Amino acid sequence: MKLPNHIGIIPDGNRRWAVKNKLSKEKGYVFGLTPGMKLFKLCERLGIKELTYYGFTTDNTKRPLIQRKAFTEACVEAVKMLSKEDVSLLVVGNTDSNMFPKALLPYTIRKNLGSGGMKLNFLVNYGWEWDLGKTQHSRTTNRHSIISSLNSHDISRVDLIIRWGGRRRLSGFLPVQSVYSDFYIIDDYWPDFKAEHLIKALKWYNNQDITLGG
C-alpha cells in the first residue's frame, strides 16, 4: 500500500458539532482533543513520517472572544498532550501578534521530544499571507528558494489533506506545500472522528495516480 509521507489535517466542524449536541458553539473545541490524539496514535502506528494539524488562523481570531479563547485553549492543550509523545514537534504561526498563545512560544523552535520520531507540525495563529510575506527574492522561479523563504519552510510538501466537516476548501492551509496535495473530505464533524475515516482516506489515496504534473 502506498502511504503518504505527509498528511495535513483540517479538523473542521467543532462548532457545528456543538450546536448539533445542544451545546453553545465554543464548547465544541475541547471535544476535538481526544480525536487529535487518536489520529496521531494511528498515524504513528502506520509509520506516517509527518503530520500537520491546522490549529487556528489569523482569520479565525476575528470570531467572538468566547470562541477565540476556547479554540486557543484547545490548541495549547493539544500541543501539550502531543509534546509527551515521541515526536519532532514544531508550532508554526505569527508570534508577533497578541493572538499567539505565549504558552506555545517554546515550541516555535523544532524540538525532539521523547525518543523523537514523527515530524509533527501544529499551525497556531497561522495566516497564508504571514507565511508568504517574508519572501525576499527577485524574479526567481526556483522552487527551493521560494520554499526556503516561507515562514513555514520547515514543513514539507503535503501529500494528502484530510478535512472533516464536509467543506471542500483549503481555507488558507499551507498554500505552497499544498500545490500538489490530494484532498479527501469527510462529512462527519471532527469531534466525531473515527479510525475508519483515516483508513478510508488512506485507501483512497492508495488508488490515486500521483503525477506531479508530469
**Alpha-carbon distance values, 47 to 53, 77, 93 (Å):** 17, 24, 26
Residues 40-59 that bind a second copy (CB under 8 A): 57-59
Residues 96-155 that bind a second copy (CB under 8 A): 127-130, 132-143, 146
* Residue 37: CB minimum distance to a second copy, A: 25
Task: Point out which span in 26-34, 114-122, 162-170, 187-195 binds a second copy (CB under 8 A).
Answer: 162-170
Q: Which is nearer to a second copy, 88 or 156 (CB)?
A: 156
Q: Which is nearer to a second copy, 82 or 150 (CB)?
A: 150
- Catalytic annotation, pick one of 14, 60, 121, 151: 60
- Supply φ then ψ for residue 19, to 5 degrees: -60, -45
- Catalytic annotation, pick one of 12, 94, 131, 159: 12
Angle at 177 between CA 45 and CA 35, to 5 degrees: 35
Q: Which residues pair with 54 in a beta bridge?
A: 123
**Site for a second copy contains 17 (CB under 8 A):** no
- Would you say 131 and 146 are in contact if contact means Cβ atoms under 8 Å apart? no
Task: Point out which span in 19-27, 43-51, 83-91, 168-176 binds a second copy (CB under 8 A).
Answer: 168-176
Residues 67-86 that bind a second copy (CB under 8 A): none
Distance between CA atoms of residues 17 and 32, nearest Å: 10
Q: How many CA atoms lie within 13 A of 186 on its CB side?
A: 25
**Alpha-carbon distance values, 129 to 64, 71, 213 (Å):** 22, 21, 25
DSSP string covering 90-104: EEES-TTSTTS-GGG
Distance between CA atoms of residues 25 and 74, nearest Å: 14
* Residue 39: CB minimum distance to a second copy, A: 20
60 given a catalytic annotation = yes
**Site for a second copy contains 168 (CB under 8 A):** yes
Binding-site ranges for a second copy (CB under 8 A): 57-60, 62-63, 94, 127-130, 132-143, 146, 167-172, 175-176, 178-184, 208-209, 212-214
Q: Which residues are catalytic?
A: 12, 60
